[in-house]
Structure 1
């Protein structure tokens, strides 16, 4: 008998840090085929604040730009909720990273909820994700509710809090309550006993405490700050709650007289862009919530099945990654080049033989893994625009523990793959090397090993690649161009660029270029 299985991943939303933001498990499973008890059990086993069950999609058609599928949200406590903002973002990112969808040009994700209509997530400029949520309105509070909420807030904060307004949610948000407190209360810096909101008889399961932001305390001109407390969330507080903004945004837009459609900034606790517009969706009253991060808006866990061949033996290891560009893969090593470097073939993490040539750089032990993580950060942050131009493409950093020892591997472009006509003109080699290193310095990076070894330069028919940034450092370069004016005081010129100019510049001796480079020999460091 075959045990039923379903693809899944874990994502952290509203953050580029895998240990920040708001995590969720995304399980690709047709919920119509299983009972709710099974779904609840799966959600509890994942032990994430939210489990999002996404109905698997059909293969994409040529030219398709929209995906429509259904979702359901179940908390770690086993309760189903009608709407979850961070769960919707996580589901959209998982769909965009799914084999056959990644890189296919999808720009619109439509998630059909069980009772709250469609949540739309769009891919916008810069690779950010923009989520459109329904607006939630508030209703007048009864005197009994007002007393109970005020008493609960005071006990939770451990002091008498200056409460300015209490507003329970209206239709569709009956479980929620918005509480505005005075900005002098230091909402973000306050210690809160979240267990108080879970006491028997308290009527609201989602409690959003919010306050105005003064010019003195504003970091990025945010209009308001908020925190959300709920007994349904592990620890009692949701670090970033998308659905809470269904009440927050229309409330503050009205309170502050903000222009409809004009983008504003909010903080809970990370900063994100929000706007309330009548034209952003088919729903005339919609909340358009767009996240403002210069880095990818969420980190998605990916897995790597590594088939490590050595001699007539092979071993299989399972690794994981939080690299923003990493995807599920299976990799098989084919040839050892150096102690820490292998030629390999990669493919999607599914049935079939891997066929994409790449290089596998490994690290064993805490220090070696730390060095590899440093190099990966250089590739994915500072040198991201230069990948595939003057540095190799970077396909992700994966890690695990083997016999208790930290182990990691980076997947990189094999720059010599498909080499048809090596660049042999010495002067052109020099020119390409200088152009490459200047671009790297313009990106704010000093390689630091180029003057000690030529094994960090690979020549190919498309130009050159600078490789191995293990010892690279961030660097503010004067002009980011070489100079030979050695009479200038130290600090008025870049020593690495001056050294490179001596070796590869217009006055260098072409005959000094190693024959290994001219022959485009693989010389990874």
Structure 2
């Protein structure tokens, strides 16, 4: 039997029940992908992060209940929190190597952790009619796209009032980030995930890879304050550095435990 440490962390929050929860499992070596997926399904969180220590840092991967994904901000923040708080890691900077987006760096300053992520440029597109229908939108400022759709609205109030038909978004084949200028922040956002187990993501670090460059250019700023206005909500300190973005948040541990895998469950 193999015992694997298990942590559940509320990322982008300084309190329990805020931000976005992620499961985190440090591994001694990589298990088969099928086992990692079954574990993520058992945890039933939006993402489970797995990492393995290497000579130069850590290898990091993220799984939803449906499969491996190419980038996850909140689970990266949660992983860094576990390493800094529980694994006797003496440095103030962690280097993660990933399969799809290269090296990611997380640094610590006090209670705040800063993700160094790639910046994603967006381009204007003519919106599919289905996108507007599913969001229930009659008016919008502009529609852009990178990995996900980026829908820009005029006011925070308009964003808060959205009640989208998540199921109707499935044929679009993309996630949908909706954003607007903030009343008390530089910008606010919401993130919808058709086809995933969590219909609206509470706080989405990866979406800020495109939000930060967009609003940085629009506002003429390199440093900004952002909030994702989901039911749980989360605050981010943001900085645009050309082809990289920095996003800072706090994290709170909710559960520490163990996963037990028998011999036949390891392959």
Regarding TM over 0.5, the answer is: yes
Contact persistence 2:46–2:198 (CA under 8 A): no
Deviation at 1:238?
Answer: 0.5
**Residues 83, 51 of structure 1: CA spacing in aligned structure 2 closer, same or farther, 3 A cutoff?**
same
Counterpart for residue 347 of structure 1: none
Superposition map of 1:350-389 within 5 A: none
TM-score, normalising length: structure 2: 0.87
* Partner deviation per Cα, 1:303-344 (whole Å, 9 max, x = no partner): 4xxxxxxxxxxxxxxxx8xxxxxxx9xxxxxxxxxxxxxxxx
Structure 2 residue 167 is the aligned partner of structure 1 residue 203: no
Matched, 1:252 2:215: yes
1:264 match: 224
- Per-residue deviation at 1:276? 0.4
Answering whether residue 79 of structure 2 is matched by residue 91 of structure 1, we say: yes
Q: What are the equivalent positions in structure 2 for 1:170-209 lying under 5 Å apart?
A: 173=147, 176-183=148-155, 186-198=158-170, 201-204=171-174, 206-209=175-178
Indicate conservation of the 8 Å contact 1:73/1:83, yes or no.
Answer: yes
**Matched position secondary structure for 1:235:** coil
Matched, 1:290 2:248: yes
**Matched residue SS, 1:83:** coil
1:184 and 1:276 map into 2 onto residues whose CA distance is: 22
Q: What TM-score do you get using the length of structure 1 for normalisation?
A: 0.46
Please give the alpha-carbon distance, in whole angstroms, between the structure 1 residues aligned to 2:29 and 2:139.
Answer: 46
Residue segments in structure 1 that go unaligned for 5+ positions in a row? 59-66, 279-284, 292-296, 304-319, 321-327, 329-525
From 98, 111, 120, the equivalent of 2:105 is 120
1:166 pairs with one of 140, 143, 150: 143
Once the 2 structures are TM-superposed, how far is the Cα of residue 20 of structure 1 from its aligned partner?
1.7
Given that residues 124 and 142 in structure 2 are in contact (C-alpha distance below 8 angstroms), is that contact kept between their aligned partners in structure 1?
no
Q: How many Å separate the matches in 2 of 1:287 and 1:248? A: 10
Q: Take 2:204 and 2:88, find their aligned partners in 1: how far apart are those partners?
A: 30
Distance 1:265 1:100, change over 3 A: closer
1:277 equivalent among 217, 223, 241: 241
Structure 1 equivalent of residue 265 of structure 2: none
Deviation, 1:184, is 6.9
Q: 2:192 aligned with 1:239, yes or no?
A: no
Aligned ranges 1:51-70 → 2 under 5 Å: 51-56=48-53, 68-70=57-59
User: Is the partner of 1:208 in helix, strand or coil?
Assistant: strand
Partner of 1:4: 2
The Cα of 1:249 is off from its aligned counterpart by 0.8
Give 1:57 shift.
5.5
Separation in structure 2 between the aligned mates of residue 18 and residue 184 of structure 1, nearest angstrom? 25
SS in 2 for 1:20: coil
The 3 A distance-change label for structure 1 pair 111 and 127 is: same
- What residue in structure 2 maps to residue 36 of structure 1? 33
> What's the secondary structure of 1:178's corresponding residue?
strand
Q: Which has the larger radius of gyration?
A: 1
Cα deviations across residues 188-241 of structure 1 (Å, max 9, x unaligned)? 24333322222xx3131x21011123xxxx22xx11111000125433111100
Q: How many residues end up aligned between the 2 structures?
A: 254
Residue 23 of structure 1: SS of its match in structure 2? strand
Q: Corresponding residue for 1:129?
A: 113
Contact 1:211–1:226 (CA under 8 A) maintained in structure 2 = yes
Superposed CA RMSD in Å reads 2.2
The question of whether the paired residues in 1 share the 8 Å contact of 2:130 and 2:169 is answered with no
